[in-house]
A and B are shown apart, each in its own frame.
Chain A
Amino acid sequence: MTTMVTTKPSMWTNFSTWANRYRKWLFAAPAMIFVGLLIAVPLGWTLYLSVTDSEGSVRAASNLVGLSNYFEVLTDTDRFWPAVMRTFVFTGGALAVELILGMCIALLLWRPFRGEKWVRVAILLPLVATPVAVGMMWRLIFDPNIGFANQVLSWVGIPAQPWLSGQYTALPTLMFVDIWQWTPMVVLMLLAGLTSLSDEPDEAARIDGANSWQRFWFVTLPLMRATVIVTIVLRGIDALKTFDILYATKGKGGGSFHEVETLNIYAFGLSFDYNDYGIASTVLILFFLLIIAIMWVLTYRRKANRS
């Protein structure tokens, strides 16, 4: 009886001291384990599939083939490397225009003016539209025969353009759609950065006689560096992974000439159309590494610049 009384509280005390000391881990553990599994299990599975010749069904027997999938993909100049190039052209082009355009609009919206609220709402409209619906809408607008875009061109006497259906015009057209849809988000992020700036450096520059371009280039922009980099990282990753508008307008394979086939579309086609799970996983792992590398470069440069 006495022993029970003495040991039981000490066990409790031991446990509660331990739990108390590590309580931040203990409380966070369920969520951390959950998230960890959610990321680690699919990633591990993809990694495993990428070294097998799995095809047809993932439940069918498959053999370990080592790194031969990686060799096959990395030497594929027919589909893989063009897809890599398109991914970068699409992301780089769209991102650059979105940043410049976004910065211009953000600067215009920075100072209060009449009807500001309405303008902001109007600018944000493309952002709230569903990407697939956006894709379908632009597909109708850009239809070469009955679309609105060619009708507008005919009013001003410009011959009809193939837009989405042209081998060389499809990707730029889709970049335009991406810019149309995502510039508002860039505006929003840059505007948030601008409003948090203090007026003093700008005023000091004004007193020193700097013109408005100099004030933007030498004062505002350097102060905005962190915001701009965050915007580039977030929008850049998003643009790299673009899938919905490409798939909604051009379907599997990105058109008859694979003219808009980015890495994401390629990987989707490999797994859901060709059922070539081994190769598809390899492409996805390479894509994943690519994104990690870009993120690393951007954050590393940011740290290097700061120090």
Chain B
Amino acid sequence: MKRQSVVRVVAIVAATFFAAGALTACSAGSGEDGGSKTLRVTLANHVWTDTIKSKLPEFKKETGIEVELSQYGEDQLSDQYNVKLNAGTDEIDVMMYRPLQEGKLFAKNGYLADLSDDVKSNADWDWSDFQSGPVGSTTYDGNVVGVPIITEQEVLYYRKDLLAAAGLEVPTTMAELEAAAKAIKEQNPGVAGFVARTGKSAAVTQFSSFLYSFGGDFIDKNGKSGVASPEAKEAYAFYGKLIREYGPENVSTDMSWPEAMAIFTQGQAGFYTEADSLYKNATDPETSKVSDTVGFAPMPAGPGGSVAYNVPSWALGINAESANSAEAWKFIEWATSQDLTLTVQQDGVPGARQSVWEDPAGTSTYPADLAATIATSTKNGVGHDRPLVIKVPEAREIVGDPIVIAITGGDSDAAADDANDAFQGILDDE
């Protein structure tokens, strides 16, 4: 009897221990290997990432640092950062982020380590070689928090064959663009004259060059909302009309670049305004039916001239909580070196180093008209393609609303007035 009860107690204690053990095992988890030289690098799905990935063995040979790579799509990447950085994780060392989308928020939250000393530590690596526009947007409160890796400009993709068949020149003004889109749509049944992004939030960045070319901006010179200015209203109406009247039939209002690019590369549109960093999708015969007839031109000029954005779309930063910041910097220094920037740029990803742009080899793999276009737009480009605020996602939805209204044939002027009030509210809060 006594013996039995002892056995029972032992069993209970054992069971409790097992349960407790399981619990602590859950909470301890990984992360106990603080001293190891494994660097955790989180990158977005991009041609840039593919090239860097293929070069990783060289990095390991040079430095002896093992790199553990995680790769996500844009939205998933944002969600990952939101969850992990919010929890104060040290499981991310190097992070690829969007300076214009999340830069302000991340820097304000203290997620990004201060790199001001690191960037000056190596004269050969040469921080001054990076273009000032992109550098401006990876700097927060005077501190460098990121190194820009990819820049992009908005350009006009067009179909040489359709334009030639219509006997038209490449449009250089917005009025010519509209006329050409109209002609192409009328002459080619089933082919749209013009296509571009239509999603409320997704369209904002590619609409921005229209806005600038009509003489407007999201925020005016006095720091107030410029969304309801006469120029902005005109730009909204024009962009909407292009898609509504000369766009694809049954146009969806959810299109981001993959959908719009698909329409263009399937040969179903004559013109397409999009970031140049995606040009490979249109020129690669494996993904594009129009690879041999695609041409590139600068944004057509509006009343305000031909003004495209010229922005750093991605940058590398270091998680402020990282225990491996020295190794993380080594990785960034390696990934953004002159040599690798040149390699990446030759693979089709425009970089942020001036020396690479000035080197003829830097644009040798680009279609000649694209290289010329980029040279033009980098000169007079605007350094942002979305409202520069902390709450970018919310602001994009607000200023993007008139675009969708215009596309669906609603009163875009009234929508712009509403958007103006809401956007001013965000500006007042910040």
Contact = CB atoms under 8 A, between A and B. Distances in A.
A275 B75 CA distance: 14
Contacts of B408: 167
A71 interface: no
Residue of A31, A161, A274 with most partner-chain B CB within 10 A: A274
Contacts of A9: 2
Contacts of B266: 146
A27 interface: yes
A4 to B, nearest CB: 15
Contacts of A250: 254
A56 B390 contact: yes
A254 to B, nearest CB: 10
Nearest to A15: B9
Contacts of A60: 109
Interface string B388-426: 001101100100100010001000000000000000000
B19 A56 contact: no
A144 B252 contact: yes
Given A30-B15, A30-B19, A59-B88, A275 B105 contact: yes
Nearest to A58: B86
Nearest to B15: A27
Given A34-B23, A272-B82, A275-B82, A19 B393 contact: no
B343 to A, nearest CB: 34
Interface stretch (B45-53, B149-157, B195-203, B296-304): B195-203
B253 A257 contact: yes
A34 B22 CA distance: 10
B23 A56 contact: no
Contacts of A58: 86
B326 interface: no
Contacts of A255: 200, 253-254
B344 to A, nearest CB: 29
A59 B9 CA distance: 44
B5 interface: yes
B290 interface: no
B268 interface: yes
A253 B201 contact: yes
Nearest to B78: A272
A56 B105 contact: yes
Residue of A164, A256, A257 with most partner-chain B CB within 10 A: A256
A251 B259 CA distance: 13
A26 B9 CA distance: 11
A14 to B, nearest CB: 10
Interface string B65-91: 000000000010011001001101000
A252 B79 CA distance: 11
B20 A30 contact: yes
B28 interface: no
Size category of the A interface is: 35 or more
Contacts of B8: 16, 19-20, 23
A144 B251 contact: yes
B78 A59 contact: no
B250 A160 contact: yes
A256 B5 contact: no
Nearest to B7: A16
A266 B117 CA distance: 42
B187 interface: no
Interface in B98-129: 105, 108-111
Nearest to B390: A56
Interface in A135-157: 143-146, 150
B248 interface: yes
A12 interface: yes
B88 to A, nearest CB: 6
A160 B2 CA distance: 82
Contacts of B400: 256
A13 B8 CA distance: 11
A137 to B, nearest CB: 16
B183 interface: no
B6 interface: yes
Nearest to A161: B250
20 contacts: A9-B2, A12-B5, A12-B9, A13-B5, A16-B8, A30-B23, A31-B19, A57-B111, A145-B263, A145-B268, A160-B249, A164-B252, A252-B393, A255-B200, A256-B200, A256-B254, A257-B200, A271-B82, A272-B79, A274-B393
The 7 tightest CB contacts between A and B, nearest first, are A30-B19, A165-B252, A16-B5, A144-B250, A256-B200, A57-B109, A256-B253
Interface of A: 9, 12-13, 15-17, 19-20, 23, 26-27, 29-31, 34, 56-60, 143-146, 150, 160-162, 164-165, 167, 250-253, 255-257, 271-276
Given A20-B8, A144-B250, 9 more contacts: A19-B8, A26-B12, A34-B19, A56-B109, A144-B251, A145-B249, A146-B266, A165-B254, A255-B253
